[in-house]
Amino acid sequence: MAKRQSHPETGMAPKAEQILQGAIEEFLAHGFAATSMDRVAKTAGVSKATLYNHFGDKESLFSALTEYLGEKRILDFVIEEPEDPAIFLKTWATAIFNQILNDPELLCFLRLIIGESGRFPELAQAFIRNVVKVGINRLTKSLESYPQLRLADAEVTARVIMGALLHYLLIQEIMHGEEIMPMERDRYIEGLVKLVITD
């Protein structure tokens, strides 16, 4: 019997989404340090009072932005969980890649987080908390629904899979290593699935 991998709705008000869209434009254009709440309010077309009413400070705004991007543009997919776990893993990994690699703004946002994480570690922590951890938790639950895999630790396996996907994105796309270390995406996914599912 097929099961569905669900994800919660953010339940965010349209005005808050408007602010977050203005925020990502400003963060990408000027970086975290140089972006002011005044700039965000102007770009989003809202008053400063409205901005502060929704997000109390810049750090809270950035954290909310990572959560929003995670739910709406990275983890925003629902897939069937077929009886064959190999098919599920291939579909899941492909969906993650498609969500990110088909969204140039997301790739720029990931570069921003990495570039700013030395001075502002809380930015990277917000991404890990709101995107990576959520993705790993969901994948762990899905892996646990396949007892035939006989995994010693489903969470460790989910972390390995997520880590492998992030490695591909980091080397191939974010750090522009595609010409130096070329790797076809489907080949990478196929190999990853075979590491997890052995005959």
Q: Which pLDDT score, from 0 to 100, does residue 79 have?
A: 86
Cβ burial of 100 (10 Å; 0-12, 13-18, 19+) is buried
Q: Which pLDDT score, from 0 to 100, does residue 14 have?
A: 84
Q: Which pLDDT score, from 0 to 100, does residue 11 have?
A: 56
Q: What share of the chain is helix, strand, coil (3-state, %, to 5)?
A: 70, 0, 25
Spatial CB neighbours of 181, under 8 Å, sequence gap ≥ 6: 171, 172
**What is the distance between the alpha carbons of residues 64 and 70, in angstroms, rounded to a whole number?**
10
Q: Which pLDDT score, from 0 to 100, does residue 7 have?
A: 38
Q: Which pLDDT score, from 0 to 100, does residue 36 have?
A: 95
DSSP state of 149: G
Reading the block at residue 100, the tokens are 């990110």
Q: Identify the residue whose tokens are 């569905």.
A: 4
Q: Is 91 helix (H, G, I), strand (E, B) or coil?
A: helix
Catalogue all structural domains in the chain, each as residue range(s) with its CATH number: 10-196 (1.10.357.10)
pLDDT tens sequence for the chain (199 residues): 334 343 344 456 889 999 999 999 999 999 999 999 999 999 999 999 999 999 999 999 999 999 999 999 999 988 888 999 999 999 999 999 999 999 999 999 999 999 999 999 999 999 999 999 999 999 999 999 999 999 999 999 999 999 999 999 999 999 999 999 999 999 999 999 999 988 6
**What is the distance between the alpha carbons of residues 54 and 51, in angstroms, rounded to a whole number?**
5
Q: Which pLDDT score, from 0 to 100, does residue 90 have?
A: 96
Q: How far is CA 134 from CA 72, 76, 167, 169, 177, in A?
A: 13, 12, 18, 18, 27
Q: What is the DSSP string of 46-71?
A: --HHHHHHH-SSHHHHHHHHHHHHII
Nearest in space to 51 (alpha carbons), one of 28, 14, 19, 26: 19
